[in-house]
Structures are given as structure tokens and as C-alpha cells.
Amino acid sequence: MDLVTLASTLLFAVIIAKVIRPWLFKKSQDRSLGLPPGPPRLPMFGNLLQLGQLPHRDLASFCEKYGPLVYLRLGSVDAITTNDPDIIREILLRQDDVFASRPRTLAAVHLAYGCGDVALAPLGPHWKRMRRICMEHLLTTKRLESFVKHRAHEAQHLVQDVWALAQTGKAVNLREVLGAFSMNNVTRMLLGKQYFGVESAGPQEAMEFMHITHELFWLLGLIYLGDYLPIWRWVDPYGCEKKMREVEKKVDDFHMKIIEEHRKGKRKETGSEEDGDMDFVDVLLSLPGEDGKEHMDDVEIKALIQDMIAAATDTSAVTNEWAMAEVIKHPRVLRKIQDELDSVVGPNRMVTESDLPHLNYLRCVVRETFRMHPAGPFLIPHESLRATKINGYDIPAKTRVFINTHGLGRNKAIWDEVEEFRPERHWLAEGSRVEISHWSRFQDLAV
């Protein structure tokens, strides 16, 4: 045996010992651990290479093949995925104390002030405090109702704009019109200003805001390989982490500007505040801080505003656009909505928010839109705080949980004709009110 052959044989033996043996060993360990079933995986990468451009579709096909609860190994991270209402109920309701936390991803560190927000923060006293602020001061019924007139104003402008555009005989770009409508509603509530239309902050600031929001939403939704393969971060071939740092800086500058404007009362001088309504930034600036401090820290305020922008803007715009696209594609549905509007609202006035409880068919249309086109294909990932069991399978501590909302809405075990937009499927036999949220039947809620 010459030296080269000896060296290659030794190298091969080392590879077997270092890589393949632990992998084989892991398989038998899996069985003794009793992990849920899942696709075979490669050493080091696990199942990462089986995920393509549309990971929600890949994960849904694993659920079809291996069952409602699937185990995956993503690089160095244990993960489970599901599109099944019973398993989702087990994770989010029955075992909420185990799964209420979030993984510390690089996007959360860079884009949510070091996980100092509410949506991406791990479970703990900081998260509890931030969540309490949201529930007691920002997302209260009273506060949301205080923006009713702003929303009505925006809706009126939307109708007038579309009418005026339609008179020119040219095509109306609904993405632009609905995007501006959603964005104005959200920014009026959060920041006290509208970005599009006659009383807007100006086209340059609007473009800047739109651009930052889309970049933020895109980076937050990405499955970034650096979170699963630490070695990837050394190379970062697509410059993802660099991009995160750039967006982090841009977003922080934007938030600082907004806070300074509010502190100086600039908005009030321009007369954009009506009847003493407070926007979210005003509210946060007025609250006391932790440990007897007079005010909340700027970082805390920025983290909450960041969450609200990311959670509210694209979700609303995308959902409105899908609903309109489906209604236009289905004239039968359009006619039924118009008939309902004629009988509940009549021809002589605009629809108001107080009409919404009585527009049951429209509510079915909203639910069907959520089923087929959830704002994001997954819920924000959860993480188990300790080892537990689901359906008799072992789930290790720190397992990442991907709840596949896209897959839930297309789960053939629950829905028939999954690709068909059919609002009637949500109509209740006794004609009682169709709920859009806060319902315990997860199969009926795509979000």
C-alpha cells in the first residue's frame, strides 16, 4: 500500500467515524428517543437541503407523507412542523406554558432591538411587561375605536380615488390603491400621519417608509441558513446578515426621527392631530418606565413601534389585495356581496364599521381569504422551553415549531376542494354570526 492510498484510506475511515457513524447512531437514538416521524436527513445539514424557495409547500408535503406531526433536523436545530388543528391546539393552547417562547434568530436580534420587542422576544419578565403595555394601552377596544373616524375618512378617499381613476377609462392598479389605504390606516394610528393622499407627509418620506417596511417584512420572514449552520455565517454568500445590519440602521434612524418629531410636538403644530387623539407613539412617550423611571426607554418604544409596523402594514395590505383579487375572479361572489350590501346598508350611504356584524356573507369572504391566503405562510416560530411529549412522541427542549398556516388552509383532511374560493363553506346552518377571530376551532382559522 503506497502512502497516498494509506492516507486516503485513513481519511475515509475518519470521515466514517466522524460523520456517518454519529448519523447512523443518531437514527437509532431517534428511535429510542421516540421523536415524531420525518424525512431522512443528511449529516450536518439535516433536512435543510430538502427545503426550496417555498418551504411551506415542502413542509406541507412532509405532513402529507409522514403524518400530522413531523420532526426535522435543520442543521444544528431540532424542529417540528404541523398543519393539523388538533396538534396546533395542543401546542398553542394545552401546552402554551411549554411553547410560548420564541427562538432567538439573527433577524430577531438585528431587526427587533435584540429581541427587545413583543412578537419575537423569548418568554420572560421583559416580554410580559411589553405585552402588558400592548394589551393595556395600545390594542384596547377604546383606543382602536378612537381611530374609527380616521378609518372612515380613509375609506371614503379610497372610494373617491377609485371612482375618479375609473372615470379616466384607464386600468386601476389595485395593489397601489389598497396598499396606500392599508398603510395610511396603520401609520395614522401608530405615528399620527398619513403617507399617501392629499394631506400626506410627502412622496419622498412615503417611499422611504414603504421601502423600509417591505425590506423589514421580507427579512423577518426569511429562513436564514446562518440560524441553522453556524459555519454559514462566516461566509454569508448572499450578504443576508449585512443586509440585516443595514436595515437595522435605516429603521433605527427612521424611528428616532419619528420620536423626535413627537417630542418636539411638530405633528401638533402642523395641525394633523384631531380632537386630542393620541397615536401609539404619543401613548408610549406618556407611559412611565421600569423601576420608577419617569419614561419608557427609547429602545423599548422603538421596539414596540417596529413590531406594530411589521405586524400591521403588509398583513393588512396583502389580505385586502387577495380578497379583491378573489372577488374580481368570482363574479358570483361579487354579486352576493352586493346583494347583501343592498339589503343591509341600502343604496344611499357608505358602509360603516357598525354594519360589519350584520354582513355575514362578507365575513365568510374574509374567512375564506384568510384560509387560502394567510398573511404569512407560517406563524411566527415558537420554541419549546423544556422537553415534552405530543401525541406520545418526544419533543426535545429548544425545539423550533413551524405552524404551517398555508398548509392548514389547504389540509385535505379538513377542507374539500381546497383550491376553490368558496365563502359559503363558512356559512353556519342556523345563519348565526360567522366569527372572524377569537374562535376555538383552529381548522376554521387560517391565522
Q: What is the footprint of ligand HEM within residues 231-260 (CB under 6 A)?
A: none
Residue 247 beta carbon to ligand HEM: minimum distance, rounded to whole angstroms: 19
Contacts of 152 (CB under 8 A, 6+ apart): 350, 352, 353
Binding segment toward ligand HEM, per CB under 6 A, in 238-246, 270-278, 306-314, 348-356: 306-314
426 contacts 360 by C-beta, under 8 angstroms: no
List of residues 6+ apart from 342 with CB closer than 8 A: none
CA nearest to 444, candidates 429, 430, 423: 423
Q: Are 80 and 69 in contact (CB under 8 A)?
A: yes
Q: Segment 91-150, which members bind ligand HEM (CB under 6 A)?
A: 118-119, 131, 134
Strands 382-383 and 400-403: antiparallel
The neighbour count for residue 109, using CB atoms within 10 Å, is: 16
- Residue 357: CA atoms inside 13 Å, Cβ hemisphere, count? 2
- 202 CB-side CA count, 13 A: 3
* Binder among 50, 101, 316, 411 for ligand HEM (CB under 6 A): 316
d(CA 92, CA 76) in angstroms, rounded, equals 24
411 belongs to the binding site for ligand HEM (CB under 6 A): no
Give the start-end residues of each E strand in 62-129. Answer: 69-74, 77-82
Task: Kindly state whether residue 445 participates in binding ligand HEM, applying the rule CB under 6 A.
Answer: no
The stretch near ligand HEM (CB under 6 A) out of 105-113, 324-332, 356-364, 373-381 is 373-381
Pick the closer one to ligand HEM by CB: 88 or 395.
88
Site string for ligand HEM, 264-303 (x = CB under 6 A): ----------------------------------------
Output the smallest distance, CB 134 to ligand HEM, in A. 6
Of the residues 33, 283, 337, 380, which one makes contact with ligand HEM according to CB under 6 A: 380
Q: Smallest distance, Å, CB 12 to ligand HEM?
A: 46
Segment near ligand HEM (CB under 6 A); pick from 37-45, 106-114, 304-312, 329-337 = 304-312
Instruction: Catalog residues that contact ligand HEM under the rule CB under 6 A.
Output: 118-119, 131, 134, 307-308, 311-312, 315-316, 319, 375-376, 379-380, 447
